[in-house]
Structure 1
């Protein structure tokens, strides 16, 4: 038996935004912004007799699944939460992913290194860390990424302090200075 909980999202938006965030892992205004960005995509338009679910519903299903892991993210559980069929679930995931990937350049915006704000950020980074990280652009330090299940090889090595299996992430990407880019192109 399916009992859609999608209708609760409107109530959560108006009265309990923290529950909206708990379901979809974004704030309602961010949800609306993503929805505005992808709604016009051609993947959501077709001439078939079978109508697609509303883009709002497809995005909600996608975000619910993407924001959960383990048993909660299984297709069966998402289907039960949303009150849709497995086929509709798969279509929603595919449609939204295509629309988001096509909007990549609009969603990811790397500021120009000529901006005064970037220079202030670089000075701050250099003063708080080390000079090698001065031109760093994106950084994630120590974020825990939960794994669906215990890895088969060296599984116990992935057991963390929160009693789950996870990976720690440490990433820093660096923007090249104009001189470095010119040297690379030579």
Structure 2
């Protein structure tokens, strides 16, 4: 269902009140016309102007004020789910969950008489900016789209990033997998491989999030192996693609093994993994009893077998 903002609810209530008042006025006018039907007056009673109706004028003025204060942002992102998703790249349900997770963060509250704009508006503006790239993500473009000031866009971006990067947000929104979820993941691994590998119910890999340009501070450290400026993001997920943990904040020049060390598993694997459980990884990650890198082993055996064949040929 499309989201309905508080302003929209207030507008709908005022419109309902206006319609009820209009019907009452028409009914009263009809009663007056019936009572005067014996007269020969030719006056036109079809004028429905509200110049002398303070109630109607007040309702219309209130609706106009609400519509003016309703930013273009919320008008275009709360009508239909498809339109909403095209602007912020999440479903309305996901958006509501995200707002509920960050709305109590101290960064969105202050003791000033000038209150901040609603948290849902701030999150929507930030997501719209994150969804765009290059010039389309410029502060001026976001300002014109959202109907807010230049400084407000910058402050909103900082607030939302502060709330999302807070470890409390990660702990609240991404708790560790439940025993039932772990068992389903193991069953999938066993069904698609073999019983000996069923305890490897997690996978880890890194990805680069490209940046539009070189960052101002320590920009060279963001230059990755693909000759782009980016950030290294580590994702640990189950076979059903549900993310179980993640690591963010390191520049693109950092090796996956280094970025991986910033996540929970390397430091808390004794508490998070049961005996015998492990994580699947590629050759960029260290080989541990709880972290298996099958590609590294496969490459090693292939190279070793070719090297052994080569030795058998050159040796007499």
What is the TM-score normalised by the length of structure 1? Answer: 0.66
Residue 77 of structure 1: how far off its partner (Å): 1.6
For residues 32-51 of structure 1, the aligned pairs below 5 Å read: 32-51=96-115
The answer on 1:23 being equivalent to 2:87 is yes
CA distance, structure 1, for counterparts of residue 184 and residue 224 of structure 2: 45
For residues 115-130 of structure 1, the aligned pairs below 5 Å read: 115-128=179-192
The correspondence for 1:81, drawn from 145, 163, 173, is 145
The answer on 1:179 being equivalent to 2:275 is yes
Structure 2 unmatched runs, 5+: 1-70, 215-221, 238-264, 278-288, 290-316
CA distance, structure 2, for counterparts of residue 90 and residue 62 of structure 1: 9
The 1:47–1:117 alpha-carbon spacing in structure 2 relative to 1, beyond 3 Å, is closer
8 Å contact kept, 1:136–1:172: no
CA distance, structure 2, for counterparts of residue 127 and residue 86 of structure 1: 54
Q: What residue number does 2:74 align with?
A: 7
Q: Which has the higher contact order (CA 8 A, sep 6+)?
A: 1
Map Cα deviations across residues 126-176 of structure 1 (whole Å, 9 max, x no partner). Answer: 4436866852425569x8855536998887x77xxxxxx999x99656766
8 Å contact kept, 2:107–2:162: yes
8 Å contact kept, 2:108–2:119: yes
8 Å contact kept, 1:123–1:134: no
The 1:98–1:147 alpha-carbon spacing in structure 2 relative to 1, beyond 3 Å, is closer
Corresponding pairs, count: 166
For residues 146-185 of structure 1, the aligned pairs below 5 Å read: 148=212, 177-179=273-275
The more displaced of 51-60 and 172-181 is 172-181
8 Å contact kept, 2:89–2:127: yes
8 Å contact kept, 2:199–2:276: no
Structure 1 unmatched runs, 5+: 159-164
8 Å contact kept, 2:208–2:230: yes
Across the aligned residues of Structure 1 and Structure 2, the Cα RMSD in angstroms comes to 3.8
